[in-house]
């Protein structure tokens, strides 16, 4: 197991990709003590999710605030300064150098860990070309990982397919958080670069973000338990 993680349950981050705070809290209650870490993204954050983040932290849960901040450096600095007051564990920013430097300045001495998003897991090389990039996904991920390390970022968000590349760039001390995880038999959905939980852990991911395969399961608690069993077996 990674030296950065004291409780193996923290390796699983369940994405609260639901429309309301009530839905989110009902899911948290259903999952119980088997899940310790939750991700709040745009949809929920803009529907009362920041207050929910405070509540979850007060109840001893860890929270990953997935806002993927990107703006001029000063605006990012001010935004991150405000978000440090929530007590969340992780916050994402896009891996543009100016954005990352602004986020590090805004974080200051707070315990908040900043994660840089390299390339969205719904992107492939064609999507990058359509967006005007002249790099393949793997090359862009490597470049942004190098820039994140230099900027003082704490970790990287990347697909499991790029985990080995990122680990080679950032070394053993920075965190790797991997979305787009699909347990065996799950539909890929809109994700284009996916691996199973066991595969992702074996190649060096520290935390796995799992949403639909758990929250849309007939029995979310059992689905989360199955993912956790796979993580433990591979750790």
pLDDT score of 195: 82
* Per-residue pLDDT band at 160 (split at 50, 70, 90): confident
The model's pLDDT over 79-110, given as tens digits with 9 standing for 90+, comes to: 999 999 999 999 999 999 999 999 999 999 99
Cα distance between residue 119 and residue 110, in whole Å: 26
- Tokens read off for 139: 């090359």
Pick the catalytic residue from 39, 68, 113, 192.
68
pLDDT at 56 over 90: yes
Domain coordinates of the chain in residue numbers? 8-234
Q: What is the predicted pLDDT for the residue at 227? A: 94
What distance separates the 2 farthest-apart alpha carbons in the chain?
46
pTM for the model: 0.91
pLDDT, one tens digit per residue, over 132-151 is 888 888 898 999 999 999 99
Burial 136-163 (b: 16+ CB within 10 A, else e): ebeebbbebbebbbebebbbbbbbbbbb
**Using an 8 Å Cβ cutoff, are 142 and 131 in contact?**
no
Which token pair is 200? Answer: 């992702």
pLDDT at position 51 over 80 = yes
Res. 220: pLDDT tops 70: yes
CB-side exposure of 150: number of CA atoms within 13 Å?
Answer: 11
The whole-number pLDDT of residue 185 equals: 58
Task: Kindly report the CATH number that applies to the domain delimited by 8-234.
Answer: 3.20.20.70
Across 210-228, average pLDDT:
95
Is the pLDDT assigned to residue 118 strictly greater than 60? yes
Helix axes 21-31, 220-234, angle to 10 degrees: 60
Residue 112 DSSP code? P
**Is 85 annotated as catalytic?**
no
For 102, phi then psi, to 5°, come to -65, -40
| CA dist., res. 98 & res. 85, Å (int) | 23
**Based on the number of CB atoms within 10 Å of its own CB, is 81 exposed (0-12), middle (13-18) or buried (19 or more)?**
middle
Phi, psi of 189 (to 5 degrees): 65, -135
SS3 116: strand
Q: Two tokens at 102?
A: 């602004």
- Residue 117: phi and psi, rounded to 5, are -90, 120
CA dihedral 177→179→182→187, nearest 10 degrees, is 180
- For the residues of 8-62, what is the DSSP string, one character each? GGGGEEEE---SSHHHHHHHHHHHGGG--EEEE-HHHIIIIIHHHHHHHHHTT-E
- How far is it, in rounded angstroms, from Cα 224 to Cα 235? 16
């Amino acid at each position: 197991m990674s030296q950065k993680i004291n409780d193996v349950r923290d390796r699983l981050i369940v994405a609260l990709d639901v429309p309301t705070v009530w839905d989110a809290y009902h899911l948290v209650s259903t999952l119980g003590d088997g899940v310790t870490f939750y991700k709040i993204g745009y949809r929920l954050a803009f529907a009362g999710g920041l207050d929910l983040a405070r509540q979850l932290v007060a109840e001893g849960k860890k929270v990953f605030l997935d806002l993927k901040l990107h703006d001029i450096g000063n605006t990012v600095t001010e935004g991150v300064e405000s978000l440090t007051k929530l007590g969340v564990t992780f916050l994402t920013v896009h891996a543009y150098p100016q954005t990352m430097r602004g986020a590090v300045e805004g974080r200051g001495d707070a315990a908040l860990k900043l994660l840089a998003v390299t390339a969205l897991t719904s992107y492939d090389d064609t999507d990058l070309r359509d967006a005007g990039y002249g790099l393949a996904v793997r090359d862009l991920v490597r470049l942004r990982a190098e820039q994140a390390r230099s900027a003082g970022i704490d970790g990287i968000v990347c697909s499991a397919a790029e985990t080995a590349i990122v680990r080679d760039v950032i070394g053993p001390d920075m965190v790797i958080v991997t979305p787009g995880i699909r347990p065996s038999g799950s539909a890929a959905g809109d994700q284009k670069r996916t691996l199973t939980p066991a595969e992702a852990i074996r190649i060096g991911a520290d935390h796995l973000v799992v949403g639909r395969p758990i929250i849309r399961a007939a029995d979310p608690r059992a689905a989360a338990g199955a993912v956790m069993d796979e993580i433990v077996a591979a750790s």
